[in-house]
Structure 1
Amino acid sequence: MKYFKVLIIPILLIAALSISCERDDICPESTPTTPRLIIDFLDATDTDNTKNVFDLVVIGVDSEDNVSEDALSDYVYTDTDNVILPLKTTENITEYILVSDAFENDNDTPDDDSDDFVDGNQDRIQINYSREQVFVSRACGFKTVFKNVTLTIVDDGDNWMLSRAPLTDNQSVEDETTTHFNISH
């Protein structure tokens, strides 16, 4: 009887914990979270066709705390006709430098990697928006959606990006199922 009392308490505790957990206490990976901005690159001479950007490198501007470099790791010396970029959830502006025909410049010191940098045709884009927090579920919490999104190509006199167009008026970024902007080059 003494051993029965010792065993019953842990059994009741485990039963109580398992009953109190609900299915929505774990956020499924399939649940949509804060969406990223999708940009397609189009041929400037035929805007009905996509066109690869060769040796593309994407660099987040002032992104130490808001946009991890891991999120941009797919865009290091790659050939692609689109990019999927995270937007800052704590600010109303995100900036990126997109480098076309990028290469690693060794700064004329081939034996010293510490002064190497990415070189090529650099264009800066500035994305402005307002943020809205949307409740997803108890387990997943909130996600941020972006409203009134605008994208500006900063003119530097040598832009490889020639024009940009939102896919809809009053562009918003609420999911990752469609392109949000087209950029011609």
Structure 2
Amino acid sequence: MKKSSLLFILLIIIGIGISISCESDDICPESTPTTPSLIIEAYDAENPTNSKAITKLVIGGIGNDKTLTNGIISATKIVLPLKTDANTTQFALIKDAFINDNGTPDDTSDDYYDGNTDKITINYSREEIYVSRACGYKTIYRNVTFTIVPDTDNWIKSRQSLNDNQSVEDESETHYNIFH
């Protein structure tokens, strides 16, 4: 009888020790800052202190077939994700966008967005920063530059960095202003 009582007490002690040493699941909280996106705000080129919505906007990444906007939108603030595996990201920003049915209104497979397209190039250097075991690493971007690719009909007239040696470390602040 004493052996079974001793074994029972030993099992309880081992069980308590195991439950104390176990950690809760490592889950990265949604509130934890991760790799930030580039924030751009739009202003009126004629009156630079006034915010001005970009009408009928579609944003797409250059080098892939994905659009960042869910359809055609109007916006005064643009959030652009930057590549974490390259030092350059390019986007096509289409103002006054519409769906071109390519002359085949009954066939949507050949439809595409059309309008006044301006292409922009974002260059930067990347730095990985450890966040936590649950969240892993995040990338921050240093020495960020923003170039408007010239064409015959640029709707983006100019851009302005809000800081010298612009970096993108969080999404709580605007990084660039564009004027159109």
Scaled to the shorter chain, the TM-score interval is 0.7 to 0.9
Alpha-carbon distance change, 119 to 20 in structure 1, aligned in 2, over 3 angstroms = same
Residue number in structure 1 paired with 2:75 = 80
Secondary structure, counterpart of 1:96 in structure 2: strand
Q: Which has the higher strand share?
A: 1
Distance in 1 between residues matched to 2:121 and 2:100, nearest whole Å = 25
Give 1:107 shift.
0.9
Residue number in structure 1 paired with 2:129 = 134
1:28 is aligned to 2:23: no
Give 1:26 shift.
2.1
1:115 is aligned to 2:117: no
Partner amino acid, structure 1, of 2:112: F
Give 1:161 shift.
0.5
Partner amino acid, structure 1, of 2:62: V
Identity of aligned residues (%): 53
Secondary structure, counterpart of 2:72 in structure 1: strand
Alpha-carbon distance change, 14 to 108 in structure 1, aligned in 2, over 3 angstroms = farther
Higher radius of gyration, 1 or 2: 2
Distance in 1 between residues matched to 2:107 and 2:16, nearest whole Å = 59
Partner amino acid, structure 1, of 2:69: S
For the aligned residue pairs, the C-alpha RMSD in angstroms reads: 2.5
Mind listing any 5+ residue stretches in structure 1 that lack a counterpart? none
Residue number in structure 2 paired with 1:44 = 45
Q: Deviation per CA, 1:57-103, whole angstroms, max 9, x where unpaired?
A: 00011247xxxx48x234x2101111001000000000000000000
Within 5 Å, give how 1:164-183 maps onto structure 2: 164-183=159-178
1:56 is aligned to 2:66: no
Mind listing any 5+ residue stretches in structure 2 that lack a counterpart? none
Distance in 2 between residues matched to 1:83 and 1:117, nearest whole Å = 21
- TM-score with structure 2 setting the length: 0.88
Partner amino acid, structure 1, of 2:175: H
Aligned residues: 175
Contact 2:118 2:148 in 1 (8 A): yes
Distance in 2 between residues matched to 1:18 and 1:112, nearest whole Å = 63
Partner amino acid, structure 2, of 1:36: S
